A and B are shown apart, each in its own frame.
Chain A
Amino acid sequence: MAMKRRTFARHMREGLKNIGRNGWMSFATISAVTMLLFVIGSFSVLMLNANSFISAIENEVEIRAFLELDTDSDEQQNVMQEIANASEVEEVRYLDREEGLDQFIDSLGSEGEVYESIRDENPFNDALVIQASDPELTENVAAEVNRLEEIETVEYGASILTQLFTVTNYVRIIGGVFILGMLFTTIFLISNTIKLTIISRRDEIQIMKLVGATNRFVRFPFFIEGLLIGIIGAITPIAILVTGYVYLYEFLSTQMPFITMLEPFPLVWQVSALLIGLSIIVGIWGSQMSVRKFLQV
């Protein structure tokens, strides 16, 4: 039994009208949606940034394997090839001793100038700079490389690294749990608010049924209403989040360039899509769940 077009139009009109007819309740529901989406949205943006920041740090973790002084360039080529072929290794780069010293001096900034005098007595050997395919494999890779006879010593921030990994894992787990918790709180709060509005409308639903309305006829306007409340509720948090993030990004990139945020686009659109999708699902789900209880007339 297909629904007639005019009935569909009627349900759309009715759903829209119902938002006005139940003014305060609609306002309360929309406000609840708005507030919670705002919290979820800001938290997601924060988490995404923290996550990318952590990944960036992790990816900078590299192993420096200093070659024995007596290796010739053939041997160096071979050992480099051997390391590059290992599946745990992402990338191997050759760093000659001059370059190594330059980097070292650079990293010290103005204090590095005193070392300019020791250029002739360069303490560095030629080295291989290795990046593990997964930052967490760094320790293993370093141990393996150290075992090769062409390698004299291996350097990497061992203790800092393990600390970093435990911290980042905690941050991610706590963040994930927090987002999940927010999600359930939202769904619970919104469905509760909608339930309240519908309890106040159970008489209406009963009359509809007694006048000969089918369940579908009763439900459809509620469906539209939930959809609209979801959409309306998402507008404000999305507007604030998009403008706020773009503004903050520009502010930080000029005032505090050392803090790197994710590019605002397309990130803000992705988060907006997530929010609107979430609020529509919650709006419809909430309204349909609660109307169901009163249809038995």
Chain B
Amino acid sequence: MRILSLSLIIWIFSMDVRFLIDMKRVRKSYPNRVQALNNINVHIGKEEFVYVVGPSGAGKTTFIKLIIRELKPSEGSIHVNGTNLGDLTEKEIPYLRRKIGVVFQDFKLFPKMSVYENIAFALEVIEAPANRIKERVMEVLDIVHLKDKARFYPSELSGGEMQRIAIARAIVNHPAILIADEPTGNLDPETAWSIMGILEEINNRGTTVVMATHNSHIVNNLRKRVIAIDDGRVVRDEWRGAYGYEA
């Protein structure tokens, strides 16, 4: 009995450490009664690289919004980076989000701020010193090969450039988790692969990467764990999986 409870404690403890993202029996329905996710059980560990695939409207973006607590689940529990999102107070939410870098499907850049200011914002939020901000912004701009666009405004950029700025802002804080919603959606194959190179490198440095995508070519050629969602349910969860749909 004692051994059983001890191992149970060890198991619970180790689970917290092992899983950066942990969803149990999560259901999400929107106020208009659309059931976007149903009975989702997903566990994502440290340093993993995960593709989330599925047809349009499957629930991928909803899945991401739950992780950053943009939405609350209708049922079930979510742990992120050791925090139970159900216990999170309004005031604690910003601190959770600072540990997660997000590349939004619609980029969510500040339209009235320059590229530089857009990226610097994420560092200003954590009250980084001014010289550190400058240094780090130029560093990430270099990573996404857009150093020469620092003074541009989002309206002056191409779709692919905006996407790369969104990536730069997402990684600028060295987040524990990087979530990218369709980060290659607007890119030509060559640029798409260079983005994948960036994500892999970030992953190799120990950041967990979760990437929602429609890009079967990438999924099939750069094999990683694949979580397939269809109609709000996880239909497949394979290590080194294939895209599995005819795109």
Q: Indicate if the CB atoms of A6 and B129 lie closer than 8 Å.
A: yes
Nearest chain A residue, comparing its CB with the CB of B93: A209
CB-CB contacts below 8 Å: B99-115 with A: 102, 104, 108-113
Q: B245 at the A/B interface (Cβ < 8 Å)?
A: no
Specify which of A4, A204, A297 is in contact with B70 (CB 8 Å cutoff): A297
Which B residues are CB-close (under 8 A) to A22? 112
CB-CB contacts below 8 Å: A2-21 with B: 4, 6-7, 10, 21
Q: A211 at the A/B interface (Cβ < 8 Å)?
A: yes
Q: Indicate if the CB atoms of B112 and A211 lie closer than 8 Å.
A: no
Which A residues are CB-close (under 8 A) to B130? 6
Q: Indicate if the CB atoms of B125 and A213 lie closer than 8 Å.
A: yes
B-side interface size class: 20 to 34
Q: Indicate if the CB atoms of B94 and A213 lie closer than 8 Å.
A: yes
B94 shortest CB reach to chain A, Å? 5
Distance in angstroms between the alpha carbons of A177 and B111 in the assembled complex: 45
Distance in angstroms between the alpha carbons of A17 and B67 in the assembled complex: 33
Known A-B contacts A22-B112, A204-B112, A207-B108; A212 and B98 likewise in contact (beta carbons under 8 Å): yes
Q: B122 at the A/B interface (Cβ < 8 Å)?
A: yes
Q: A208 at the A/B interface (Cβ < 8 Å)?
A: yes
Distance in angstroms between the alpha carbons of A4 and B126 in the assembled complex: 10
Q: Indicate if the CB atoms of A210 and B121 lie closer than 8 Å.
A: no
Distance in angstroms between the alpha carbons of A7 and B128 in the assembled complex: 9
Q: Indicate if the CB atoms of A214 and B94 lie closer than 8 Å.
A: yes
Which B residues are CB-close (under 8 A) to A208? 121, 125
Q: B91 at the A/B interface (Cβ < 8 Å)?
A: yes
A residues contacting the other copy or chain, number (CB 8 A): 19
Known A-B contacts A21-B112, A204-B110, A204-B112; A211 and B127 likewise in contact (beta carbons under 8 Å): no
Which B residues are CB-close (under 8 A) to A212? 94-95, 97-98, 122, 125-126, 173
Q: A217 at the A/B interface (Cβ < 8 Å)?
A: yes
CB-CB contacts below 8 Å: A204-237 with B: 204, 206-215, 217
Q: Indicate if the CB atoms of B127 and A7 lie closer than 8 Å.
A: yes
A148 shortest CB reach to chain B, Å? 77
CB-CB contacts below 8 Å: B152-192 with A: 169, 173
Q: Which of B70, B104, B127 has its CB near the most chain A CB atoms (within 10 A)?
A: B127
Distance in angstroms between the alpha carbons of A7 and B70 in the assembled complex: 25
Which A residues are CB-close (under 8 A) to B127? 4, 6-7
Distance in angstroms between the alpha carbons of A206 and B111 in the assembled complex: 13
Distance in angstroms between the alpha carbons of A10 and B70 in the assembled complex: 26
Distance in angstroms between the alpha carbons of A21 and B126 in the assembled complex: 23
Specify which of A4, A210, A215 is in contact with B97 (CB 8 Å cutoff): A210
Which A residues are CB-close (under 8 A) to B97? 209-212
Which B residues are CB-close (under 8 A) to A6? 127, 129-130
Jot down 30 A-B pairs with beta carbons below 8 A, ordered by A: A4-B127, A6-B127, A6-B129, A6-B130, A7-B124, A7-B127, A10-B124, A21-B112, A22-B112, A204-B110, A204-B111, A204-B112, A206-B108, A207-B109, A208-B121, A208-B125, A209-B93, A209-B97, A210-B68, A210-B104, A211-B97, A211-B121, A211-B125, A212-B94, A213-B94, A213-B125, A214-B91, A214-B94, A215-B91, A297-B70
Give B contacts to A, CB under 8 Å: 68, 70, 91, 93-95, 97-98, 102, 104, 108-113, 121-122, 124-127, 129-130, 169, 173
Task: A6-B127, A22-B112, A207-B109 are known; give 5 further A-B pairs, CB within 8 A.
Answer: A10-B124, A21-B113, A209-B94, A210-B68, A211-B97
